[in-house]
Amino acid sequence: MTNRDYDGQGPLIEGDHNLRSISETIGDIPFLKIKDTPKQWFIGALMAFGVLQLLFLCAGYLLFKGIGIWGLNVPVAWGFAIINFVWWIGIGHAGTLISAILFLFQQDWRTSISRFAEAMTLFAVACAGMFPLLHLGRPWLFYWLFPYPNSMGMWPQFRSPLLWDVFAVSTYATVSVLFWFTGLVPDVATMRDRAKNPIVKSVYGLLALGWRGSARHWHRYEICYLILAGLSTPLVLSVHSIVSLDFAVSVIPGWHTTVFPPYFVAGAIFAGFAMVLTIMIPVCRLYKVTDFLTDRHLNNMSKVMLLSGLIVAYGYALEVFFGWYSGNPYEQGMILNRFGGPYNKAYWALILCNIIVPQFLWSYKVRTNPVQVWIIAQFISVGMWLERFVIVVMSLHRDFTPASWDAYAGTKWDWGLYIGTMGLFMTLVFLFIRIFPMIAMFEVKEVHHKSQHGDHH
């Protein structure tokens, strides 16, 4: 029985699926025997784990020696660490957006991707969260940023955006974990029921919190999920807004601008969707669950990317416009430095990656071609990193007095730590694939049900 296109926007599930086959296709992945596990998983997981070691090495040496091993200097006192922090935090946003906002808007197409995206959120936040700690001059005193009662009688300084960051990111991480875990409960229960190994069964059983699938459970689950979705929704907007305030609150030309909060949020969604696509397209191919990642998903996600990309482009345009319109020579100098300064290649590459390349997404054919979408997603990921480079480094390296201007470049330790966090991210992704159903089975079943019976019950 083919799945109907019940809402006239293209099918959400392809192939001939029933409830059982859905459970089998998705839910059996964690139960795959070693010989059945795709070789690519081993290769990928091993590589990711190898790269993870780079993180340990770079972070270890950093703690031993001090952040002088990085390429920082006095005008450019923030570099890779902050770029990467913002980049990773941004990537996380897609997950929350997909699971919370699209849930509230009852966008059914989110079902196939929400679990994965949420997991990515967590992993990205884990990667992001490391940087603010490591970038401290004295990281062992990081807890001084928390308002805890202490013998010094000291409180953190509440006017600092870095402190807002602490609250924003920690709240975001907490809510994201809760939200992800809550959404996982029904599926974990399914896994518990399907698991054969008693130990595995009991672990899943523990995580399933005694889920029996009763109507009352479902009722409470739905209310709880709705509340969490409601809680998460403002967080999508707040976290990156607050991260952007790290810059916007300062006086540095290129940072001191009111457009940052919306522009950062759009950028985060932009980057987040690109990352979801970057990971999901190959993984779905690998595990042959492409039935649940249909043209419609690609199409919709591409559209979101295109839209958020346009907002970002508008942000860039505004920066340039206000640079000129302000009449402020420092702002003008900053814009001219972006256009023609020593790092102008980064700026023009950013324009290419974030504005020009995504315009291909206007074409339906491109939007539904996984390979092309994946390539565009790569451009966007790079472009969003460059955007943070442009904002952080290019604003700092030439600010007010030319006497203090200097150049900046990441050292091998900067790159090592950055690549290392990718190792951490990928390691977590590969573990996630092996442990939890990467697609929300019960939600897909619901969609399947709708597609069989229409959306009118």
**Which residues here bind other proteins, judged by CB under 8 A?**
65-68, 71-78, 135-139, 141-142, 144-145, 154-157, 159-163, 166, 246, 249-252, 327-329, 333, 341-342, 396, 399-409
Q: What is the distance between the alpha carbons of residues 212 and 216, in angstroms, rounded to a whole number?
A: 10
Give min distance, CB of 396 to other proteins, in A: 6
Residue 258 or 404 having the CB closest to other proteins: 404
Cα separation values, 270 from 67, 264, 333, 384, 391, Å: 31, 10, 28, 8, 17
Q: What is the distance between the alpha carbons of residues 331 and 91, in angstroms, rounded to a whole number?
A: 29
Give min distance, CB of 342 to other proteins, in A: 4
Nearest residue to 435 via CA among 134, 187, 211, 150: 187
Residue 247 or 264 having the CB closest to other proteins: 247
Q: Where are the beta strands (DSSP E) in 15-133?
A: none
Residue 18 or 150 having the CB closest to other proteins: 150
Give min distance, CB of 66 to other proteins, in A: 5
Give min distance, CB of 177 to other proteins, in A: 24
Residue-by-residue DSSP string for 325-355: HT--HHHHHHHHHHHHSTTHHHHHHHHIIII
Give min distance, CB of 323 to other proteins, in A: 15
Residue 250 or 368 having the CB closest to other proteins: 250
Nearest residue to 317 via CA among 378, 393, 263, 380: 263
Residue 85 or 225 having the CB closest to other proteins: 85
Give the DSSP H or E segment for 264: helix 260-286
CB 12 within 8 A of CB 451: yes
Give min distance, CB of 248 to other proteins, in A: 12
Q: How far is CA 67 from the centre of its chain?
A: 26
Determine whether 401 is exposed, middle or buried from the number of CB atoms within 10 Å of its CB (0-12, 13-18, 19+).
exposed
Nearest residue to 187 via CA among 240, 128, 111: 111
Determine whether 35 is exposed, middle or buried from the number of CB atoms within 10 Å of its CB (0-12, 13-18, 19+).
exposed
Residue 77 or 178 having the CB closest to other proteins: 77
Give min distance, CB of 141 to other proteins, in A: 5
Residue 41 or 164 having the CB closest to other proteins: 164
Give min distance, CB of 305 to other proteins, in A: 31
Residue 9 or 404 having the CB closest to other proteins: 404
254 three-state secondary structure = coil
